[in-house]
Structure 1
Amino acid sequence: MPKSDYQKISELKERCLGSGLRIKKSEILRAGLLLLAERSPKELLAATRKIEAVKTGRPPKA
């Protein structure tokens, strides 16, 4: 995942914490899956078009 996605997850965790809910990264991702599953096919495609494409595989070791 791009660094920007990790930043979004961190922001969402902070928002939840501000509401008194401590949540894990995996729970944020699972909640996102639930929300996407409720969307229409058109809305789902629109959301997928907004995400940044990433290369598959692991980066080379430095």
Structure 2
Amino acid sequence: MATSKKTAGPAPAAKKRAARKAAPPVKAAPAPAAQPRAARAKEEKPAKVKLVRDSFTIPKTEYAAIDELKKRAARAGLPSKKSEVLRAGLMALSAMGDGAFQAAMSGVPMLKTGRPKKAKAASS
């Protein structure tokens, strides 16, 4: 004996499809003062400073002085990197008057430029 199923209406999947077609999607209107993300980012962030990487020759005594200045900054509660110590020195030189600047520069001996020659290994 065959049993028959009674259906009261469309299948549940058909109801979902009909419901999606019946209600159009609601789009949120953009805020009147809304700007593109890129424009907001430019307003919020200051322009990046371009960094330059360089190398130079310095006497060991002056290189040790940088380390002492780093330690001095750390004792004062301002831990610093070598580049920050050098940049602070540049700022101090820039703030000097012409007379003080010339006196400071005259105390710095000229160095031979270029890389130091490699020491030869002792032969056995």
The TM-score, its normalising length taken from structure 2, stands at: 0.48
Residue in 2 that maps onto 1:37? 94
Residue in 1 that maps onto 2:64? 7
The partner residue of 1:28 within 63, 82, 85 is 85
State the structure with more CA Rg.
2
SS of the equivalent of 2:117 reads coil
The partner residue of 1:18 within 56, 65, 75 is 75
What is the number of residues matched between the two proteins?
62
Q: CA deviation at 1:51?
A: 1.3
Deviations 1:26-57 (A, max 9, x none): 00010011111111111111001111321100
The TM-score, its normalising length taken from structure 1, stands at: 0.91
Overall identity of the aligned pairs, in %: 47
Residue in 2 that maps onto 1:58? 115
C-alpha distance in 1, partners of 2:93/2:59? 20
Query: Any stretches of 5+ residues in structure 1 without a counterpart?
Result: none
Q: CA deviation at 1:7?
A: 1.1
